[in-house]
Structure 1
């Protein structure tokens, strides 16, 4: 079986879940500033993430849901996930974003993945504590990718990773095939292929026998 692992924020979705939360809680500008510091490598991913989430302390659960309700998959992403799974491809999402937001978005689109590796917002008494916990607190996405390959009974050199941000680099470099989705310049040099839409990615998978539209395993 082939394993395909996607990033979520700005890959499967055009949104960043932390920014959506920030907009809902009126801290979007502060949230974006911290995010950009991380992207410029002025601070490490975990520090940036924890500082962003700390701005959300006290945010009621109903407002969390309101923020996540605005997240949508990119055009063609749901169809791509469905066709991959119909082709006996193991589909995973490995993200430093938030589990609840990803699940909400997938549920709304009517699709599911085989594995979701994401962080969790901490709730107490119906509100956020300002803390975050989970398996992707640093940017070492190569470790969960390797673990998923073992779980799926596949070798790491047969895996496919799809992402475009600096935090995706460990996963892209570890995968057998690295596909950059609108990648940042520093990321593009490590990509085997580059795409700019889900339709283009679907066509690539079809041409390389990853997807079988007739549903038989390849």
Structure 2
């Protein structure tokens, strides 16, 4: 048996009744949330065979939805894995660094195409980093202190996950300058990313070591999953770009978070209208 969890900033009562009819649900219950950013409801004993109809209706209405087995608990999981840029945080760090160099539009256009899966990630990253050559290292601190913001729901999500015993991992095609600071700030168990080369206080336009690309993200998830003795269905992963797809495929809950179309099409689950803590409410 399943429950259908529906979330959005505002959900109309007639729409809930329609979804209950589509899924033959036996009851509708409100999920208590800590603030008024959005609403969440669970429809009990909902038939997952209605998923296509539910998806079409929710797409039109602007609702997030997920069919979750009844009885599944947050404590059933052991690891949550997150992308950084445009997932755990609201910005693309490399675009903001480029803004310090006066080339944000040029770099952001490459970033967007890469995240949509139109460009090879590793090649596009090297091209973007090369454009940063000569920039003072202090620009990284300015981006972190002045522009980096956590995605709404990030802190609640991590607090709930950690309290339930889950380990947390930030795995990013971005840069260790930011992941290390976020790891310390949020108490993340693991953090992995690419390292910018700096000489005499300036970016060289090169990276140190192998690029952490889509396959490397998936490899880190599988490695930590094995180290922790977890099964695939005990792992949650979230990301927004094409370079997250391999990672999402290795998780029991692979979530496209405010993601590019190619990611929403292939991921098992999606959160598009609510915050990063939306998946926590699936197990409330």
Matched residue pairs, number? 204
Structure 1 unaligned regions, length at least 5: 208-218
Q: What is the CA–CA distance in structure 2 between the aligned matches of 1:40 and 1:92, rounded to whole Å?
A: 23
Is 1:203 aligned with 2:281?
yes
**What SS does the aligned partner of 1:58 have?**
coil
Contact preservation (8 Å) 2:84, 2:174: yes
**Alpha-carbon deviation of 1:169?**
0.4
Structure 1 residue aligned with 2:240: 164
1:134 shift after superposition: 4.9
- Where in structure 2 are the equivalents of 1:117-156 lying within 5 Å? 117-134=192-209, 136-140=211-215, 141-156=217-232
Counterparts of 1:1-218 in structure 2, within 5 Å, are 2-69=78-145, 70-105=147-182, 107=184, 110-134=185-209, 136-140=211-215, 141-196=217-272, 197-204=275-282, 206-207=283-284
User: In structure 2, do the counterparts of structure 1 residues 113 and 95 end up closer, same or farther at CA, with 3 Å as the change threshold?
Assistant: same
Contact preservation (8 Å) 2:168, 2:188 = yes
TM normalised by structure 2 equals 0.67
Larger radius of gyration: 2
Q: Deviations over 1:19-65 (max 9, x none)?
A: 11011221111211221332344431001001111111111121221
Other structure's SS at 1:189 match: helix
Do the aligned residues in 2 keep the contact of 1:37 with 1:43 (CA within 8 Å)? yes
Q: Do the aligned partners of residues 168 and 17 (structure 1) sit closer, same or farther apart at CA in structure 2, a change above 3 Å counting?
A: same
Structure 1 residues 100 and 145, CA gap change in structure 2 (3 angstroms):
same
Unaligned runs of 5+ in 2: 1-76
CA contact (8 A) 1:122 1:131 kept: yes
Mapped to 2, the partners of 1:79 and 1:40 lie a distance apart of 29
Decide whether the 8 Å contact of 2:85 with 2:172 is kept in 1: yes
Distance 1:135 1:73, change over 3 A: farther
**Whole-Å Cα distance in 1 between the matches of residues 135 and 232 of structure 2?**
40
2:108 match: secondary structure = helix
For residues 133 and 85 of structure 1, what CA distance do their matches in structure 2 show?
32
Cα gap change, 1:53/1:179 in structure 2, threshold over 3 Å: closer, same or farther? same
